[in-house]
Amino acid sequence: MEPGGDAARFGPGWAARALPQRLMLLLLTLLSGRGLHVAAAASSSSGAAAEDSSAMEELATEKEAEESHRQDSVSLLTFILLLTLTILTIWLFKHRRVRFLHETGLAMIYGLIVGVILRYGTPATSGHDKSLSCTQEDRAFSTLLVNVSGKFFEYTLKGEISPGKINSVEQNDMLRKVTFDPEVFFNILLPPIIFHAGYSLKKRHFFRNLGSILAYAFLGTAVSCFIIGNLMYGVVKLMKMVGQLSDKFYYTDCLFFGAIISATDPVTVLAIFNELHADVDLYALLFGESVLNDAVAIVLSSSIVAYQPAGLNTHTFDAAAFFKSVGIFLGIFSGSFTMGAVTGVVTALVTKFTKLHCFPLLETALFFLMSWSTFLLAEACGFTGVVAVLFCGITQAHYTYNNLSVESRSRTKQLFEVLHFLAENFIFSYMGLALFTFQKHVFSPIFIIGAFVAIFLGRAAHIYPLSFFLNLGRRHKIGWNFQQMMMFSGLRGAMAFALAIRDTASYARQMMFTTTLLIVFFTVWIVGGGTTPMLSWLNIRVGVKEPFEEDQNEHSWQYFRVGVDPDQDPPPNNDSFQVLQGDGPDSAGGNRTKQESAWLFRLWYSFDHNYLKPILTHSGPPLTTTLPAWCGLLAHCLTSPQVYDASNLGRVKYVPGESPPEIWELRALGENQEPLREEDSDFILTEGDLTLTYGDSTVTANGSSGSHTASTSLEGGRKTKSSSEEVLEQDLGVGDQKISSRGTRLVFPLEDNA
């Protein structure tokens, strides 16, 4: 029973009931190995008197079951071994500064090797499940009670099996054991990856490029999907002419392929960008696009699937069905978005109005639970959990993160970072394995070559025209080299794989799956390996490029940055700075510094800064000044006391000369209502605490700018500032560096930044 295959063909309802049970077979049986056996043995002892007659039979079954558990455990151990090997090799690569192969590529290679061993190295034992046939009435039920010589046994339906395949599939037990249910990817492995992407978004640059990112993600993915779909339809026609097509392949299948293969996942490129501190705007464009187009691709693929014209001929164009599909797309997308945003907002409110930040463990647990509940809520309401989780992550990063204690900030970051890392490498090593262990590959050279050409053309057809149109409106143009780099970074990864493996029932889907797998392999290896040369060939600014001979400290710092969001939400800082300057609550004062941003960004930013931030977090201007006078009471209730403190505080000058932190999150752990004096003295007394805070946020929360500073201070005199960020900040006339936090504002002069 390969993943999802026949069960899916059987029909939505059955598939839905049947798939989870299959997943179980691998994921949980193996967790229960010996344990289950003991429990079962326990029961057999208590009920032994009644069942003596079938003792022999039970014994045989028990042995069989035990053997099966052992195999399950061994197969999961195989994956753990694979991941362990990958981790050790990555370490070696990072240690030796090898950049041409990313950890995901490595995981795939190890997966391939193990796949080959499993495929050709293990004996083809025949499946030991006995099968029985009994003819029934005209309907299959989800539960079956079978009367075997007086005893009743309960059976649950797994799915339909096409008659021809009853004896032909999966002779090899081991291959079956290492085959996961495709829904594992969607429901267990993808959510932490996607949540982490949302949570670690570099907010400043993301929102600054919001318009372009949305254009690339929505228009771009749609264009790419339709171009690839149409090109592939041509390829399919060609194959039919040449006689290479042995089964049906409809136009909707081609469009579906276009949708799943439009989900880019430039994980290797982004890792290298992070490591080399490449241009932040390019990073934001690429990362933002890839994150959002995953969401678009999922929803798009399910809308295409939902395209079911009425009547018998289901593969002709039908305007009603088409518009229904469009409606489904909009409905699912906006619904999932709302779900995610709502849970994020609720979490922000809870963390703002309770003093949970005194107990990081509770805070982290709450954060985790609320983020998980987004997924469930969306699923319960019929939306897409993965998409909801993405927007929840973005909301949590934008609002809740500011309310968390320093400890929880690093905890939540680290928790999702580890989950993300494990899930991602697991998926990639599984991909390697699947190339050999998946038993229904359909390799069609024409289709594969066609697909490579189509994804190239599909990407070209949206990157270049969209960039042209966007440049008309952008002040900060997307240069020719950026466009080339975006074109080049169209890797396919985990999302395309998960969408493709979800349904491999029909011939068309199997061919798509095989092709997707090969596309992922080649793009990850070739593009991943070619990123560094490409960057220098295209003359793309890279940041502080550490010389090879630097000490290990640097080495270690550097890795902290990889995969961690390197910015600390500076816009509010800049702006509360302006508030402090007396610019007043209207965002007009902020406009000078934001002139190069898109109007969308400015609109959103002023609303966010004036209303959302003050309501949901402890920062921003007091609501009493931004809201109209008639909602004064409400405004007063919603504004946190710290905001007033901050406005009244003025500046506490930082004495330069001692390791000067650029962004220093000073966290007043004291009661919110405590007078300022108290917090001030806190600042003096808690030297260790405070520096911990600085250190923490430097390492894990801040990333780029923070650790940047750290390395500056580390290396004594080296003050190279080449990332565009600093340049921009100086352009903006931010003469002072401002530190904002829950109740205290510290302003540091920028001497050391010059």
Q: How far is the CB of 251 from a second copy (least distance, A)?
A: 12
Assess 694 for contact with a second copy (CB under 8 A): yes
Residue owning tokens 């929840």: 392
- Identify residues 602-641 at the interface with a second copy (CB under 8 A): none
Assess 701 for contact with a second copy (CB under 8 A): no
Assess 236 for contact with a second copy (CB under 8 A): no
Which residue number, 84 or 595, has a Cβ lying nearer to a second copy? Answer: 84
> What is the greatest pairwise CA distance in the chain?
90
| Other CB atoms within 10 A of residue 607 CB | 12
The rounded distance, in Å, linking the Cα atoms of 535 and 531 is 6
Which residue number, 713 or 724, has a Cβ lying nearer to a second copy? Answer: 713
Q: Which of 240, 545, 555, 653 is the binder for a second copy (CB under 8 A)? A: 555
Q: Which of 122, 124, 125, 146 is the binder for a second copy (CB under 8 A)? A: 146
Assess 565 for contact with a second copy (CB under 8 A): no
The strand pairing partners of 146, in sequence order, are 153
Q: What tokens appear for 205 in the block?
A: 């640059």
Q: Kindly state the DSSP code that residue 749 receives in the 8-state scheme.
A: E
Which residue number, 290 or 384, has a Cβ lying nearer to a second copy? Answer: 384
Assess 97 for contact with a second copy (CB under 8 A): no
The strand pairing partners of 278, in sequence order, are 542
Assess 417 for contact with a second copy (CB under 8 A): yes
Site string for a second copy, 173-212 (x = CB under 8 A): ---------xx--xxx------------------------
Provide the pairing of β-strand 652-653 with 143-148: unpaired
By CB atoms closer than 10 A (0-12, 13-18, 19+), residue 677 is exposed
Assess 2 for contact with a second copy (CB under 8 A): no
Which residue number, 256 or 497, has a Cβ lying nearer to a second copy? Answer: 256
Q: Is residue 728 within 8 Å of 753, Cβ to Cβ? A: no
Q: Is residue 158 within 8 Å of 141, Cβ to Cβ? A: no
The rounded distance, in Å, linking the Cα atoms of 206 and 79 is 35
| Other CB atoms within 10 A of residue 582 CB | 8
**CA dihedral in degrees (667, 672, 676, 682; nearest 10)?**
-40
The helix-helix angle for 12-27 and 29-46 (nearest 10°) equals: 80
Assess 703 for contact with a second copy (CB under 8 A): no
The helix-helix angle for 552-561 and 55-95 (nearest 10°) equals: 120
Assess 172 for contact with a second copy (CB under 8 A): no
The rounded distance, in Å, linking the Cα atoms of 606 and 609 is 5
328: part of which helix (H) or strand (E)?
A: helix 319-353
Q: Which of 171, 481, 506, 647 is the binder for a second copy (CB under 8 A)? A: 506
Q: What are 596-604's contacts with CB under 8 Å, separation 24+?
A: 596/475, 596/476, 597/208, 597/475, 598/208, 598/209, 598/210, 598/211, 598/212, 598/473, 598/474, 599/211, 600/210, 600/211, 600/214, 601/207, 601/208, 601/209, 601/210, 601/211, 604/207, 604/210
Q: How far is the CB of 91 from a second copy (least distance, A)?
A: 5
Nearest of 186, 202, 43, 255 to residue 568 by alpha carbon: 202
Residue owning tokens 């205290």: 744
Assess 511 for contact with a second copy (CB under 8 A): no
Where helices occur in 563-717 by DSSP H, the ranges are 570-581, 588-591, 599-607, 613-616, 623-626, 632-638, 641-649, 676-685, 687-696, 704-714
Q: Which of 2, 23, 546, 743 is the binder for a second copy (CB under 8 A)? A: 23
Q: Which of 34, 477, 545, 653 is the binder for a second copy (CB under 8 A)? A: 34
Q: Which of 49, 319, 320, 655 is the binder for a second copy (CB under 8 A)? A: 49
Q: How far is the CB of 154 from a second copy (least distance, A)?
A: 4
Assess 729 for contact with a second copy (CB under 8 A): no
737: part of which helix (H) or strand (E)?
A: strand 736-740
Q: Which of 120, 129, 539, 547 is the binder for a second copy (CB under 8 A)? A: 129
Site string for a second copy, 389-408 (x = CB under 8 A): ----------------x-x-
Q: Which of 19, 345, 404, 638 is the binder for a second copy (CB under 8 A)? A: 19
Q: How far is the CB of 684 from a second copy (least distance, A)?
A: 10
Which residue number, 151 or 475, has a Cβ lying nearer to a second copy? Answer: 151
Q: How far is the CB of 95 from a second copy (least distance, A)?
A: 6
Assess 153 for contact with a second copy (CB under 8 A): yes
Assess 46 for contact with a second copy (CB under 8 A): yes
- Identify residues 663-692 at the interface with a second copy (CB under 8 A): 669-671, 674, 678, 682, 685-689, 691-692
Where helices occur in 444-502 by DSSP H, the ranges are 445-473, 480-488, 494-501
- Identify residues 433-492 at the interface with a second copy (CB under 8 A): none
Q: Which of 120, 121, 123, 163 is the binder for a second copy (CB under 8 A)? A: 163
Assess 326 for contact with a second copy (CB under 8 A): no
Nearest of 427, 481, 97, 92 to residue 265 by alpha carbon: 427
Stretch that binds a second copy, among 14-22, 535-543, 590-598, 649-657 (CB under 8 A): 14-22
Q: How many amino acids of this chain bind a second copy (CB under 8 A)?
A: 205
Q: Which of 98, 358, 588, 634 is the binder for a second copy (CB under 8 A)? A: 358
Assess 168 for contact with a second copy (CB under 8 A): no
Provide the pairing of β-strand 736-740 with 745-749: antiparallel
Assess 9 for contact with a second copy (CB under 8 A): yes
The helix-helix angle for 552-561 and 704-714 (nearest 10°) equals: 170
Nearest of 258, 254, 386, 370 to residue 333 by alpha carbon: 386
Q: Which of 120, 152, 548, 630 is the binder for a second copy (CB under 8 A)? A: 152
Q: Which of 65, 349, 448, 676 is the binder for a second copy (CB under 8 A)? A: 65
Assess 15 for contact with a second copy (CB under 8 A): yes
Assess 308 for contact with a second copy (CB under 8 A): yes
Assess 364 for contact with a second copy (CB under 8 A): yes
Q: What tokens appear for 360 in the block?
A: 């990081």
Assess 563 for contact with a second copy (CB under 8 A): yes
The rounded distance, in Å, linking the Cα atoms of 627 and 636 is 10
Q: How far is the CB of 556 from a second copy (least distance, A)?
A: 4
Which residue number, 546 or 696, has a Cβ lying nearer to a second copy? Answer: 696
Stretch that binds a second copy, among 106-114, 237-245, 250-258, 580-588 (CB under 8 A): 250-258
Assess 109 for contact with a second copy (CB under 8 A): no
Assess 379 for contact with a second copy (CB under 8 A): yes
Assess 652 for contact with a second copy (CB under 8 A): no
- Identify residues 337-356 at the interface with a second copy (CB under 8 A): 350, 354-356
Which residue number, 142 or 595, has a Cβ lying nearer to a second copy? Answer: 142
The rounded distance, in Å, linking the Cα atoms of 46 and 91 is 52
Distances (CA, A) of 234 to 255, 446, 496, 563: 12, 11, 22, 40
The rounded distance, in Å, linking the Cα atoms of 692 and 558 is 19
Please, what is the Cα angle at 558 between 556 and 561, to 5 degrees? 120
Q: What tokens appear for 346 in the block?
A: 């609720």
Which residue number, 42 or 631, has a Cβ lying nearer to a second copy? Answer: 42
Q: Is residue 290 within 8 Å of 264, Cβ to Cβ? A: yes
Which residue number, 51 or 596, has a Cβ lying nearer to a second copy? Answer: 51
Stretch that binds a second copy, among 248-256, 277-285, 440-448, 481-489 (CB under 8 A): 248-256
The rounded distance, in Å, linking the Cα atoms of 295 and 354 is 33
Which residue number, 156 or 595, has a Cβ lying nearer to a second copy? Answer: 156
CA-CA-CA-CA torsion sign (344, 345, 346, 348):
positive
Q: What tokens appear for 228 in the block?
A: 């690839």
- Identify residues 69-88 at the interface with a second copy (CB under 8 A): 69-70, 73-74, 76-77, 80-81, 83-84, 87-88
Which residue number, 95 or 636, has a Cβ lying nearer to a second copy? Answer: 95
Assess 509 for contact with a second copy (CB under 8 A): yes
